[in-house]
Amino acid sequence: MSHRLSRRTALKLLGAGIAAAWLTPHLSLANSGALLRKSIPDGGHLPVIGLGTWRTFNVGRDPQLLDARTEVVRAFFEHGGGLVDSSPMYGSAPDVMGYALDKLGTPDSLYTAEKVWSPAGGSTREQIADLADRWGVDRFDLVQVHNLTDWREHLDVLQQMKADGEIAHVGITTSHGRRHDQIELIMREHDIDFVQLTYNITHRQVEDRLLPLAKEKGIAVIANRPYDGGGLIKNLKRRHEVPEWATEEFDCRNWADFLLKFIVSHPALTCAIPATTSVEHVIENMAAGHEPMPTQATRERMIRHIASL
């Protein structure tokens, strides 16, 4: 793939690095190591923990919850966060991001990831313009085709917009393990920068074909549902203690560390996007992006441990 890194994107990614480097020593919950960043097409880097907005940011016009979510966004950026992912399918989530950015200002580290969905019907540019207006941003860094809806038409338009410098990156998404054959075909035959899919310690189907293919093609990978919709971490927190060997081997202090470090330590993974309504949890999530990370042998032990519970 041939990609050009726009000056704007390069400056933003550089800014993100400087901001995180400055913020890292102030983290009360962070591991001793640096916040891990991974490369994306065109030469930039992203922090390995992003912020999802499905369900959590759909608060409508509730002033109390708008302010509460703004605090979540504030904590995310204060702890070095970059990528925020949303969708027109997520109700008022894009408006809530617009509210938060209006209150907080737009940090240099922000990497905006949005989606387009069906019906396409010539509406791709219109959808993106509407979403940019709701976020209050000039343009998005990444626009993805949501769950492959009308993907041929959307991808054609997105590629043109990328060529015209209207967006930086193009991607496709799936979740819950759906339509992997189609995803694989698009990854093989089309020039995309990102693929978003479900990957967590209990849903690892993508390890067989999609993650190796992404690595081979230089496609950045966003992992959605890192806590399997919240149920995985809730059950673990309720019933089990983090194993001592995990603490010894990669400084794992809680289940957020355990689950997120497992995901982002995969060589093909770029970023995980846990969603949360809690400032405490977003700080916990961001701390999980810090080194040390588990080795391949430790990752296998982690899988065996979860399977044994």
Single residue of 5, 34, 65, 306 touching another protein by CB under 8 A: 65
Cα-to-chain-centroid distance, residue 267: 15
The three-class DSSP label of residue 47 is strand
DSSP string, 168-195: SEEEEE--TTTTHHHHHHHHHHS--SEE
- The bridge status of strand 142-145 relative to strand 169-173 is parallel
**Is residue 237 part of the contact set for another protein (CB under 8 A)?**
no
Cα-to-chain-centroid distance, residue 190: 21
Which range in 5-13, 61-69, 118-126, 290-298 contacts another protein by CB under 8 A? 61-69
**Is residue 204 part of the contact set for another protein (CB under 8 A)?**
no
For the CB of residue 117, give the shortest distance to another protein in the complex, in Å. 12
x/- letters, 17..56, toward another protein (CB under 8 A): -------------------------------------xxx
Number of chain residues interacting with another protein (CB under 8 A): 21
For the CB of residue 244, give the shortest distance to another protein in the complex, in Å. 31
- The maximal CA–CA distance of the chain, rounded, in angstroms, is 55
**Is residue 232 part of the contact set for another protein (CB under 8 A)?**
no
Rounded to an integer, what distance in angstroms lies between the CA atom of residue 9 and that of residue 206? 29
Please count the CA atoms within 13 angstroms of the CA of 246 that sit on its side-chain side. Answer: 23
The tokens describing 225, both together, are: 């549902």
**Is residue 130 part of the contact set for another protein (CB under 8 A)?**
no
**Is residue 216 part of the contact set for another protein (CB under 8 A)?**
no
Rounded to an integer, what distance in angstroms lies between the CA atom of residue 107 and that of residue 20? 11
**Is residue 152 part of the contact set for another protein (CB under 8 A)?**
no
Residues 81-120 that bind another protein (CB under 8 A): 89-92
**Is residue 64 part of the contact set for another protein (CB under 8 A)?**
yes
